[in-house]
Amino acid sequence: MATTHLTAIITAAGSGNRMGFDKMFAEIGGQPVLRHSIAAFEKTRQVNDIIIVAREDRVSLVSDLAREAGFKKVRQVVKGGDRRQDSVACALSHVADHCQFISVHDGARPWITPTQIERVLQAAAASGAAASAHPITETLKRADTDFLVSEDISREGMWAMETPQIFRSEILKQAFEKVFSENLQVSDEVSAVQRLGLPVQLVHNESLNPKITFPADLQFPPPTI
């Protein structure tokens, strides 16, 4: 791949309400979840710099974590917003003009690997937009508010979205301009880019890459980066 400039945005501004405490600083293998996530991008050769989005009351704490870990690519820790899209928009305003690609990653996915980051970047370089994902293999059912099964859902062609999601910088910035100018709500960056009518290439991730949501998720084996 030709030399490119990739800025990685790591989102860590969630409230952690479902966990009951700040999951970014919960430990796996003796290290905070967020530290594992940052380390994967720090060790990815194609990543030039990292912007971390944190809760206002965690900006200093995250800055201390990055400094104490010796991460050299962390350029800024910025305050996030109420929603994920607000946090990503905050980070986008700090991305350098010469940046060619932007990666957005959930800080709560500590099992991401440099290999998968590189694979997603290669796909984004070819298509303009790409995201890590894995195919749905379980049987899917829709249930009503009483948790009673109401219908079957075919899993054919169904994929669970992951991060990183990587885009040419002009595509992601244009997508977010549309989202905010039209007062839209999106669940991830792929959803924002879809609003432009542009295709997004999925990159099958065969490795463990769950998003920590509940305390039991911390029981997975620690990352081995």
CATH number at residue 48: 3.90.550.10
Task: Answer whether residue 185 is part of any domain.
Answer: yes
Count of domains forming the chain: 1
Q: Write out pLDDT tens, residues 27-46.
A: 999 999 999 999 999 999 99
Q: In this predicted model, what pLDDT tens digit does every residue of 112-168 receive, in sequence order? A: 999 999 999 999 999 999 999 999 999 999 999 999 999 999 999 999 999 999 999
User: Has residue 224 been placed in a domain?
Assistant: no
CA dist., res. 187 & res. 150, Å (int) = 25
Report the DSSP beta bridge partners of residue 5. Answer: none
Domain assignment of residue 18, yes or no:
yes
Residue 60 lies in a domain: yes
Over residues 106-111, the mean pLDDT reads: 96
Confidence at residue 213, expressed as pLDDT on a 0 to 100 scale: 87
Residue with token string 């957005």: 104
Q: What's the average model confidence in pLDDT over 52-61? A: 95
Q: Residue-wise over 132-149: b if at least 16 C-beta within 10 A, else e?
A: bbbeeeeeeeeeeeeeee
Mean pLDDT of 88-110: 97
pLDDT tier at 20, thresholds 50, 70, 90: low
Is 96 contained in some domain? yes
The boundaries of the domain holding residue 211 are 6-219
Question: Residue 18 above 60 pLDDT?
Answer: no
Q: Is 120 helix (H, G, I), strand (E, B) or coil?
A: helix
Q: Which residues fall within 8 angstroms of residue 1, CB to CB, at 6 or more apart? A: 46, 121, 122, 125
**Cβ proximity of 9 and 53 under 8 Å:** yes
Tell me, yes or no, whether 147 lies in a domain: yes
- Please check whether residue 173 lies inside any domain of the structure: yes
Q: Is residue 225 part of a domain?
A: no
